[in-house]
Every structure is written in structure tokens, then in C-alpha cells.
Structure 1
Amino acid sequence: MGISTFLLFERGKSAPAYDLLRSLNSICIKENLFFDNDEDCSSSEGTLKYSRAYISDRPFKEDYSRPLCFSVYDEPYEYQIISFKWDDTNSEYFKAVVSDDFCDNEDLLLRFSHAILNIYPTAKIWIEEDWFYTLEDLDKIVNMPYNNDWCYKNPKN
């Protein structure tokens, strides 16, 4: 079983799925990454409710181990609300972008996470531990010598 990454917004404050998908594509253009998406599902009104996105630093057909795969959700979406006992704010969060397992792609995950928080600075990255990563945390991490274990360590320690 792998570890997933979540882009969290406070409940009721998420960017629309269409905007998130465009942002992922923009990140890939700016960072010289490869991008693809599929499985688009829209509401009866035509609003994008869900999509799958893929990013990689290598062509998809050349290296199947490098892509990061994401599910992108439009708020509201069933089962995407979460809260944490360890979060002192007692906030509820919407899981807007959810990655599949990122094993051995921590470097690519850092590039993506930092870039997406630069677009959505009030959002947070959660990686299935008892802490979040904020833009301020990731600014510090990217300005230090690279550590492949960055996502397994509490940024406040």
C-alpha cells in the first residue's frame, strides 16, 4: 500500500476542478513537464466534476515509473471532506487533488507541490501524516539542499 498526497482547501473555498486542471497544465508548461488527462466527468450543467491528470518529467511512453497520477475533484464531491484531530483549527477540508502512490518520485512531488501552492497559497499539502505543508514550508524546503525524505518529515521540526 502506497502513500497519497492531497491538495486541501478549507471546506467551501476550493478552486473549481476545471481551474485546478488548467493550473496543473500550466505548471507542466512552466516546469517543462509532460501533462495528460482523461476520465473527465461533468455535471448535467456541463461543470467539470472529476478528472484524472498525469504529470511526468519524462515522456510517458519512455518511463512508466515516473508519472504522478492525480484525481481532481470539484467541490462538493462525495467522500472528499476530511478533518483532523491533530489540527488545532478544527477546520474541515476538501480534498481537491489526490495523488496515487508517489513512491520513488519524491523529487517530482516536491516540484508539483511547491508549484501548486504558489498558485493557491491558502491551500495545504497533506501526505497522510499528522501535519500539513504550507507554501512557507515548501519555500524553505526547496531552498535547502535536496533531501529525498522531505515528505516524510514534519516541516515544523
Structure 2
Amino acid sequence: MGLSGVILKDRRNYSPEELLRDAVTSAFRADLNLMLSECDRYDKTTGDFKYAQFNISVGNFDSDYEKDQFIFEIFPLDNDFVNDDRDTTFEDIDSTQKLYNVAVIEKVSQNENSIFKFAYEYLKLNPKDYIWFEDDFAFDFQDMERLSKLPFDENWCYKNPKNLL
């Protein structure tokens, strides 16, 4: 399946509906196309948000061509997993927050350009959040701002942002 990324957000400030709004706003500000591909919106008994999945693309949504097209999935926090032990999972990234994985970015490979544009706009709206890639590199808005001033490097998400000058 390849490398994926996640949105890390402090659980104390998390609302899936706000993340949904910010994802749509970020895609539009990045001049990306967005298509809701799968949605199990709300639990009919509790009214709680359940799940949403988008395809986000630089161009048209052509199933034969997946370059610069990635999948973005939003999840609610599972309260069964919210506890003191889990609160420290991403402590090495930011010890002042209780960071949790609240969204997944799939299909990172060959989509680094569109993910960069989206991540920049998303983190501009949410500067306390992080985009974390499986290789243990977490990017905050300051990292993205610094990277945006450099010539584009398609391998940006595979490198430690603290080492990029």
C-alpha cells in the first residue's frame, strides 16, 4: 500500500466536523479538487460523527491516473482508546499536547506535490497540529512555511524537516 501520513491533533480540541470543514477549506485554498468518495456520516442512535473519505486531486478524477491524487480519511476519536497511556504516544513530537491520529492520508507515493499543497493550507488553519509520516517525520506549520520558500523537493515528506534548510 505504501507510505501513509496522519493528522495529529490534540484530542482536547478535536471535533471531526471541524476537521471536515478544515479539510474542505484547505483543498479549495490549495486549488485542489475534492470528491467525497465514501461516507458513513452519523450514528443514527447517538448522532455522533462516524467516518468520511475524500479523494483529493490536482486534476480531474480519472481512475486510470492516480498521480497527484490521494485519499483523506477522517475518523472520530474512539473513547475506548483515550487514556493516559495513549496521551503520551506522540509525546516526542509535542509534549504539551495530547496528540491523537484523527485522519489518514493514503497514497503518499507519487502524490507528494498535492499533499504538500494540502498540508500547507491545513496547517496554516491549524498551526498546533502536525502531519506525521510513517518514517517518523512530523511537520508543523513552521516547517511547511520554511519548505514553501525553497524550491519544491518531491521527496520533502521522506526527510526530516528539521534538517531541511
| TM-score, structure 2 as length reference | 0.82
In structure 1, the partner of 2:155 is: 149
Distance 2:21 2:94 in 1: 32
- Is the Cα contact below 8 Å between 2:11 and 2:100 reproduced in 1? yes
- Partner residue of 1:72 out of 71, 74, 82: 74
Higher helix proportion, which one? 2
Q: Aligned partners of 2:110, 2:79: CA distance in 1, in Å? A: 30
Aligned residues: 156
Alignment gaps of 5+ in structure 1: none
Find the aligned partners of 1:114 and 1:42 in 2 and give their Cα distance. 29
1:1-150, aligned counterparts within 5 Å? 1-14=1-14, 16-37=15-36, 38-43=38-43, 44-61=45-62, 64-66=65-67, 67-76=69-78, 83-84=89-90, 86-87=92-93, 89=95, 92-150=98-156
CA 1:9–1:61 in structure 2 vs 1: closer, same or farther (change >3 Å)? same
For the 8 Å contact 1:12–1:75, the answer to whether it is kept is: no
Q: Distance in 2 between matches of 1:123 and 1:88?
A: 10
Greater alpha carbon shift after TM alignment, 112-121 vs 127-136: 127-136
Unmatched tracts of structure 2, length 5 or more: none
**How many Å separate the matches in 2 of 1:28 and 1:87?**
25
CA 1:33 to 1:87, structure 2 compared with 1: closer, same or farther past 3 Å?
closer
Residues 21/147 of structure 1: CA separation in 2 closer, same or farther (3 Å cut)? same
TM-score (norm 1): 0.85
Moved more, 54-63 or 93-102: 54-63
% of aligned pairs identical? Answer: 26
Cα distance in 1, alignment partners of residues 46 and 79 from structure 2: 15
**SS of aligned partner of 1:12:** helix
